[in-house]
Every structure is written in structure tokens, then in C-alpha cells.
Homo-oligomer: A and B are copies of this chain.
Amino acid sequence: MPVNLNLAPGIAIDNIGLAPIAAGIKSDGSPDLLLVQLPDGSTCAGVFTKNVFCAAPVTVAKNHLNESKGAIRAMLINSGNANAGTGEPGIAMAHKHCAATANALGIDTEQVLPFSTGVIGQLLPDDIMLKGIEIASQSMGADWNAAARSIMTTDTEPKLTSRQVSIDGETITITGMAKGAGMIQPNMATMLSYIFTDAAINKAHLQKALEESVATSFNSITVDSDTSTNDACMLVATSEKSALSPAHKEWGVFMQALSAVALDLAQAIVRDAEGATKFITVHVTGGADTEQCKTVAYAIANSPLVKTAMFASDANVGRLLMAIGKTEIEQLKPEDIRVSIGDVCAFEDSGIAHGYTEERGAAVMSEPEITITVDLGLGDASAKVYTSDLSHDYVSVNADYRS
């Protein structure tokens, strides 16, 4: 059961074709292939995993994005098999499936981006993929909910949401979908996420907009500190509506909406994290710089002892102090640090806060949404990281994944 997962509904973007099908990659017959067709004139930007063992489709997608100068016309996404750890045969397979897609849709091979998610270390089933591409290319529709569902792996709910803004009297829509529930500590990208807008934005500006919105959303979440081999986040502008750029006076309005979609999707991944019973915001303030704040926030968010305490609704201040301290950041001085659990100050002046009781802490910790605030007392920077707790179900999901 996801923790308070209530996304604003997804709104269709005109002239984007979606073909989610059950190709037969997953053994249980659930949807596992999504072909996305983009209108001519679309621009595309992307951020990808930094994992050394990045999957074959990641390598091919990066190349195609460069070669086509962002003029992408199709995205081929499969779940159930990650095509990672598959070497040259995996790369050849991803190429072949892009070529088949290009052929079916009458576009160039480098205008197709491949994405895969699922089990690592197995080659994709070639025949099933080719057959799936053929069927999908002939069944383009506009069912966005079904599309979001077809890219799921251990997710329990599809993740799809939208924002609309009015710019120059025109309604601009931003609609995104994402998948991911485990192996989540993205770096410059997340699991798989696809965000679309009908505005017209050139590739360079689109890339900048994506990186800015990802920093505070997909790059600020963690479930288990593990970074996937297949992470990718793409932003597509179909150019159906007016042109936008950072020079436009309403660019900030657009960016705010884009960041909201990205943040909602990133938080949705944490809310639906494997075994999650709590949604936890770690807010670190008073840092010398943002990176320092993120280091402390991730140390707390990734600590198994903090995460099990969250699961137990245990207001264990000691584990929070331990996690802050293990960063070994030399500037940190215990006497300057203030820790709050929700609105309850738990630690200040080098000791447990006056008037703090475990009962007051536990009252906050028993809620499904918990905010831990740490003031480092060093400067003006701040950062937020979102995470889930470590429960028995996390162990069950990950110990029984393939059985």
C-alpha cells in the first residue's frame, strides 16, 4: 500500500501516440512494452544513470539523442528485462529494435530511443520484442493511464500526473509518468520517467530545464541507496504550442509547473517504495552549501538504523545524531546543531532539548508522513531528501523478487 499517493490526474498531450501492450516479456502476461510516437518537430532532452554498468539501452539512447540532435520521434520502453550486463550483444539488440521501430514508423533509427527496466544480466527475447514492435506500431492510441501502467515493475500503482499553466493566453500542459520502487538513489537521473509538454522549446533550453527540475526531485530521493543501471529521465516538447525560452517573462511559471510535476512523480516513487509504511522528508538547513546539506540528508535517509526506527515509530534521537555524525564533516559542531522531529525540537545545545520527551517524539513518528529537520548552524544553504522506512515487507519484496 503506497503512503498517501494521490497524484493530480494526467492530462493527454495532443498528437502523442501511445501503444502499451503485453508483448510477453513478463511471464505473467501483464503489459510490458510501451511504444511512444512523437509528432514531427518535437525536441527531447535526457539525463541518465552514472552507474559504470549502465545498461545497453542507456548507451544507445545517449548516442541517438546526440546523433539526432534531440529530434526524437519515438521511444521504445520495455519492462521485465533491463538489457544490462549484456555487453556487445545487448547493444546490438537495442540497435536492432530501434531499427525495427524506425522501419515500422517510417523514421530514422537514431530518432528512436530505447529504454529497458527489469532483471539484469539477461538478453532481451528478440522474437518477442520484434513481434511486439510490429503490433504496437499498428495500435497507437492515447490511453495515458495504461501507458503509465505498462512501464511498472515492482510498483504497486501507476504514476502519472499533470500541471497546466496559462502563458500568453495559451494553455500549456505538462504531463509526466514514472516507474520505480526499489534500487533507488538516482544520480543525475531516476528510474524511468517521461515528461511531455506541448510547448515549443529548443533542445539546449529543454536540457537546462530538465536538469534544474531533476536536482530537487529525482535527484533528491532514496529508497535503498542503490543506483540502478537503467535510470533515465526524459523531457519532450512537442512544439504544438507557443515557443518558450529562459528569455520569456513567463519562463519561471513554466519551470514552476515542470518542477511540480517532477517532484510529484519523484515523491510518488518514494510513496510506493518497496515495503514503505512511512513517507519521510529530511530537511537540512543552515549548511555551508547545498552539497553539504544533501550529504547529511542522505546519511540520515539511507541509515538502516534510522529507517528501522521510522518503521517502528521509534523517536530514536540517538540514531539521528549517529547518522549526522558519521558524515565526518569536520565543520560540524554538536553545539551548533539542532534536530527536530516534526515540530518537536529534540536536540539542541549539545543535548536532548529541554522539554523533549519520547512521548512527544513518538506522537510525530506514528504519523504516515514525518519531517526530520536538521539545522547545521553553519550557513544559509538547505536541501530536502525524501525517503521511505525499512520494513519487513522491504526484505520480503527483495528476498522473494524472482521466486
Contacts and interface: CB of A to CB of B under 8 A. Distances in A.
Given A85-B321, A225-B304, A226-B303, 20 more contacts: A52-B324, A52-B327, A52-B329, A52-B334, A86-B351, A88-B350, A120-B321, A121-B317, A121-B318, A187-B326, A225-B302, A226-B319, A226-B323, A227-B325, A304-B304, A304-B398, A314-B399, A316-B401, A392-B395, A394-B395
A389 to B, nearest CB: 9
Contact of A308 (B225, B334, B398): B398
A318 B224 contact: no
Interface string A47-84: 00011111000000000000000000000000000101
A174 interface: no
A325 B395 contact: no
A400 interface: yes
A227 B326 CA distance: 6
Interface string A361-403: 0000000000000000000000000000011101110111111
Q: How many copies does the complex hold?
A: 2
Interface in A27-58: 50-54
A226 to B, nearest CB: 5
A89 interface: yes
Interface residues on A, range: 35 or more
A183 interface: yes
A239 to B, nearest CB: 35
